[in-house]
Amino acid sequence: MSYKHTQFWNVDKLEAEETSSPAITEAGLCISEGETVAFPTETVYGLGADATNDNAVDKIFKAKGRPGDNPLIVHIGNVEQWGDLASVIPEMAQTLADSFWPGPLTLIVPKKQTVSEKVTAGLSSVAVRMPDHAVARALINAAGVPVAAPSANRSGRPSPTKAEHVLYDLDGRIAGIIDGGDAGFGLESTVVDCTGEKAVILRPGGITREQIETVLGTINVLETGKTSDSEAPKAPGMKYRHYAPSSPLFLVDNEMEEVIAKERLAGKKIGVLAVDEHKTKWEPLVDLFIPLGSVDNLSDIAAHLYHHLRLADESKVDVILCETFSKSGVGSAIMNRLEKAASSS
Ligand code: TXA
Ligand code: MG
């Protein structure tokens, strides 16, 4: 699928009480006519299409180069739409939705038969999320249909947190992009499987385990890591390469100085991603230093992490070394994405 022009709409982030704008109406029409439109959310930019139109959903997979067995999240503009997608809404899912929707939380629930297998990749469950972003919700409401949307990057690239990132990856491959400024949280939503007896976090994200446990009590988190191709994965996305940097990325706990010295000895050009506070320590020793933000502000580090990984990608270093973070709170999502980027390089 190729487009001569990818339409670009610029909208300021809509205020909560506003519901639309001419650009949103046009973009909504584009989706209802079976086209793909990228749009901002409070996590990352999504690539949306009518979830009820198989041909439109196909265009998402083609534009991204996404494997067809990796299911999509269906985005809704109001809670009522949930009932059109879920065959039952388990109590824990209802509790989570009441507590955190609209917001960066995706709930996996048993699907209605009418939900397309293209969207769910043949699974009997469907992933649903109501985004906490005025532009995203206005677009879904303008389209008048639930909107299937993965992150709007080419498969294997970091998720986009700016409209420029989407353009870089998908210009000419999708019908349009709504530029609503930087996405908010910067990493994807938390995905929680609500189809079993207890809720399980399949992917840490914008809503932390600690927040979920305040309403559900202790819950499980699926271990990070790839599942083998032969087993049916709980979170199908986990078996694929994610956020793969062009140069190998290594996570370094405490021995940064030693690792830098070793790579230097091997004649490598070295890039380091580290907290601002360590700039004076590492910058003089390496070819490229990218400050991730202050160690005291993990939310800020999360918000810009994908942009920083893209910058590291564009530089022509031989090896990228990145500091690690504690896995509590927002740190859990940050480390999950870094571990995936590191294990796939
Ligand atoms: O923040 C987000 O969630 C962003 C924005 C655009 O909403 N979307 C996003 O979509 O990250 P995507 O496609 O990049 O990631 C969706 C994840 C994948 O790992 C997929 O395998 C998993 O959710 N998933 C979708 N449906 C599922 C299901 N029925 N059962 C288990 N996992 C599912
Ligand atoms: Mg993605």
pLDDT digits (tens, 9 = 90+) for 27-67: 999 999 999 999 999 999 999 999 999 999 999 999 999 99
Phi-psi label, residue 38: left if phi above 0, alpha if psi -120 to 50, beta otherwise:
beta
Residue 77 Cβ contacting ligand 1 at under 6 Å: no
pLDDT at 241 over 60: no
- Mean predicted confidence (pLDDT) in 77-94: 97
293 Cα: distance to centroid of ligand 2 (angstroms): 23
Q: Which of 124, 128, 188, 336 to mutate to test the pocket of ligand 1 (most atoms within 8 A of CB)?
A: 188
Residue 46 Cβ contacting ligand 1 at under 6 Å: yes
Per-residue pLDDT band for 229 (boundaries 50, 70, 90) equals very low
Q: Which atom of ligand 1 is nearest to the CA of 43?
A: 1
Q: Which atom of ligand 1 is nearest to the CA of 70?
A: 21
49 Cα: distance to centroid of ligand 2 (angstroms): 15
- Mean predicted confidence (pLDDT) in 248-276: 96
Residue 153 Cβ contacting ligand 1 at under 6 Å: no
Residue 230, pLDDT score: 38
Token pair of 247 as six digits: 């140069």
Residue 220, pLDDT score: 83
CA distance 236 to 338: 19
Share the mean pLDDT of the chain.
92
57 Cα: distance to centroid of ligand 1 (angstroms): 14
Residue 227, pLDDT score: 41
